[in-house]
Amino acid sequence: MSEPGTVVELPPAATPGAAPGGASGGLAHNALWQLTRARVLSFLREPEVAFWVFAFPVLMALALGIAFRSSGTPRSRIGVEEGPGADSVAAALSRSADLEVLRLSPADAEAALRRGKVAVLVRATAGGSPTLVSDPTRPESRLAQLATADALERAAGRVDVARPRLQSVVRPGSRYIDYLIPGLIGLNLLGTGMWGIGFAIANWRQQRLLRRLIATPMRRSDFLLALLLARLLWLVLEVGIILAFGALVFGTAVRGSWLAFVLVTLIGTLTFSAIGLLVAVRARSIEAVSGLMNVVQLPMWLLSGTFFSSERFPAVIQPLVQALPLTLVNNSLRAIMNESAGLATVAPAAALLAAWGLASFFAALKWFRWD
Amino acid sequence: MPELSQQSPGAGPALACRGLVKRFPKVLAVDRLDLEVRAGECFGLLGPNGAGKTTTIEILEGLNTPDAGEVNVLGQAWGRGDGSDRALRERLGIQLQEAKFQDKLSVIETVELFRSFYRRGPDPEDVIKSVQLEEKRESWVGKLSGGQRQRLSLAVALVNEPDLLFLDEPTTGLDPQSRRQLWELIAAFRSRGGTILLTTHYMEEAERLCDRVAIMDHGHVLALDTPAALIATLGADHVVEFAVDGALDLAPVERLPGVSQARREADDFALIVREPHVSIPALLAELDRQGVGLKRLATHHATLEDVFVYLTGRTLRDE
């Protein structure tokens, strides 16, 4: 206080923990600690948020993991339309281990085929060969059609000559749940980055809390750093819960480098946080920021291969699809968890991901408004 | 709580601004405003909503930049770019209009959070005690009543034992009891030697708390003085309000003994008088002479509200 003759400071009252005139020691007087603590506490006290971050991915994994579980050999379901000769055809087909046979009245048969209840419809004709009806654009129809034809040929007396020996292997890491778990982790990192940072900032701006904060000597870097620290704490929790759930219930695992796994989730979290920050640089209301967050998230929800492979999209848009931050996270985590990839394999994707994060962060700093 | 700070005799103003202008796209919010707040006084900006009070106080707080004009707060200007803003903020207490704290944090957590931004200041527990929120110490902010929230907001503004306290509409929307409670807290800060700048549109609040008041409208100051001196500009201490059931000619009423001003407000009339016991009988006689009946008559001591009406022809409440 160097202004000449303006204020004479009297010694403050006994203030435990406050070192007079200097930086105070102890966590309680550390702004970064207090800001981080406030962020974590108010997050933990929102049950809805905790549900979306922690419970939702687990429930999702459970539902999809059960729906698409691969138990035993899959059998094709085929329908035999009632009519003359139907009995003998059905009996022949039932002997095949690959087929599950349903007897259908002519009235139901077409509908069953159309709805995908049966993959192939067999129509017996008195005396002649049966007709196989199927939709060739359905992948399961082709398989069912071949198995049906094969069973009918054998029943008619075909003798197999080549008799190749069949060997079965089930590779760990190739089931649908193995595909799904890394995608759920990626999706969660995206969601918490957007909500935990973007939504929170817009909300505080709307409530004029940001303005109240900059009316204090608080360091703005402390504020941003606290948001990130809180974010990293949840990262450990949310990724930990999904990983542990996958491992205990479905036997999924991280087969590659743990270092690479930690690095990719870390960079992914920071990048999604930076994107969340960028989305909220100016938004004055939670409605505005919610709309922006959807605009940013929707392409990644659709294209980034969380629930099915992004390779299915046309080649024209593949460069875009492959460059999306969520695609980078998902594919890297899959490579690490399921294909035993190490740091070197995922390094290019991690670098591109980091570039997204840095670009978003500096753009956010440039345009950020406190009020 | 201890004495906060003492002003040396002959020190400069705690707060001053000259030629302040702030233009928004559709309105000139602050129009060449000059103010000077002395150290140790409680200074009030009184005016209707939209008078430019909040814009003015936020410029003085360094949260808004003026389009023109100079600001000097505790001897320094904002935005010198040498880190002096932070040093200045260490010495200011600020309460923003309509600023909310996080609903899911408790009172003590909120005060501790803000305490951590300052290098010096009292213990958070003592601050909470000083605004009488000990019983709500563990309550979440979202569960507090309006009055409790305003007291928390005051506690947060006092968490660094500021030399200068800014309060923007500190009691708006509160019930009379909560309002009186806040007035006591503000008066206590003032009596410890703190300087206060507050905005309000309650004339009673300005009269009760402020050493000096600036009456603002449309971005500039209409009048500035102590509440008593402002009321004295009316030329008399009492106001007689009445309504009649016919057409009244106001000119002879204005010339009645003891009447310093007469004014028509829609169907009502108001006289500013020195001695009601002289003027009222004369008024009744005049009404008789004009042949109009008296429907209602009331008197009160002149207030800042009457000064505002006299200056603008409008009431504070109308806005």
Flag whether A260 is in a domain.
yes
Considering the domain architecture, whether residues B78 and B119 belong to the same structural domain is answered as yes
Sheet holding B220-225, edge to edge: B92-95, B164-168, B195-200, B42-46, B212-217, B220-225
CA nearest B153: which of A100, A211, A341?
A211
pLDDT at position A26: 77
Considering the domain architecture, whether residues B277 and B167 belong to the same structural domain is answered as no
Q: Total domain count for chain B? A: 2
Nearest neighbour of B100 by CB, restricted to A15, A20, A208: A208
CB contact burial B120-156 (16+ within 10 A = b; e otherwise): bbbbbebbbebbebeebeeebbeebeebbbbbbbbbb
pLDDT at position B156: 96
- In this predicted complex, what is the ipTM? 0.86
Considering the domain architecture, whether residues A88 and A195 belong to the same structural domain is answered as no
Considering the domain architecture, whether residues B269 and B145 belong to the same structural domain is answered as no
* Residue to test with chain B: of A1, A2, A3, A7, most B Cβ within 10 A: A7
Nearest neighbour of B120 by CB, restricted to A20, A41, A216: A20
Give the whole-angstrom CA distance, residue B106 versus residue B214. Answer: 37
Q: Total domain count for chain A? A: 2
Percent of chain A with pLDDT over 70: 91
Q: What is the mean pLDDT of each run of 10 residues along chain B (319 residues)?
A: 43 89 92 94 91 93 94 92 90 92 95 95 94 94 94 95 95 89 93 94 90 92 92 87 89 89 84 90 92 91 87 65
Nearest neighbour of B99 by CB, restricted to A28, A34, A212: A212
Give the whole-angstrom CA distance, residue A130 versus residue A208. Answer: 76
Mode of pairing for the β-strands spanning B15-24 and B27-37 = antiparallel
Query: Quick check: A298 pLDDT over 80?
Result: yes
Other residues' Cβ atoms within 10 Å of the Cβ of residue B266 = 6
CATH number at residue B222: 3.40.50.300
Least confident of A17-26, A56-65, A303-312: A17-26
Considering the domain architecture, whether residues A178 and A304 belong to the same structural domain is answered as yes
Query: Quick check: A310 pLDDT over 50?
Result: yes
Query: Quick check: A4 pLDDT over 90?
Result: no
Q: B5, A10: Cβ pair inside 8 Å? A: yes
Asked if B12 has any chain A CB less than 8 Å from its own CB, the reply is yes
Q: A5, B8: Cβ pair inside 8 Å? A: yes
Considering the domain architecture, whether residues B212 and B263 belong to the same structural domain is answered as no
Q: A7, B163: Cβ pair inside 8 Å? A: yes
Considering the domain architecture, whether residues A208 and A137 belong to the same structural domain is answered as no
Instruction: Look up residue B141 and give its amino acid.
Output: V
Higher pLDDT among residues A54 and B273, named by residue: B273
Chain B residues with CB under 8 Å of A41 CB are 104-105, 109
Considering the domain architecture, whether residues A275 and A359 belong to the same structural domain is answered as yes
Average pLDDT over every residue of A95-124: 87
Flag whether B56 is in a domain.
yes
pLDDT at position A201: 92
Query: Quick check: A18 pLDDT over 70?
Result: no
A208-236 pLDDT, tens digit per residue, is 999 999 999 999 889 998 998 998 988 88
CA nearest B192: which of B165, B217, B229, B173?
B165
Chain A residues with CB under 8 Å of B6 CB are 7-8, 10
Q: A42, B86: Cβ pair inside 8 Å? A: no
A256-275 pLDDT, tens digit per residue, is 999 999 999 999 999 999 99
Considering the domain architecture, whether residues B195 and B247 belong to the same structural domain is answered as no
Chain A residues with CB under 8 Å of B122 CB are 12-13, 15, 18
Query: Quick check: A55 pLDDT over 90?
Result: no
How many angstroms separate the CA of residue B28 from the nearest CA in chain A?
A: 20
Flag whether B22 is in a domain.
yes
| Mean pLDDT over the full length of chain A | 85
User: Which residue range is the domain that position B266 belongs to?
Assistant: 235-301
Q: B12, A38: Cβ pair inside 8 Å? A: no
pLDDT at position A10: 38
Chain B residues with CB under 8 Å of A15 CB are 120-123, 126
Chain B residues with CB under 8 Å of A34 CB are 112-113, 116
Flag whether A275 is in a domain.
yes
Average pLDDT over every residue of A278-295: 91
Give the whole-angstrom CA distance, residue B242 versus residue A162. Answer: 117
Considering the domain architecture, whether residues B199 and B126 belong to the same structural domain is answered as yes
Considering the domain architecture, whether residues B222 and B257 belong to the same structural domain is answered as no
User: Which residue range is the domain that position A145 belongs to?
Assistant: 76-155
Considering the domain architecture, whether residues B20 and B145 belong to the same structural domain is answered as yes
- SS3 for A311? helix
Considering the domain architecture, whether residues A128 and A184 belong to the same structural domain is answered as no
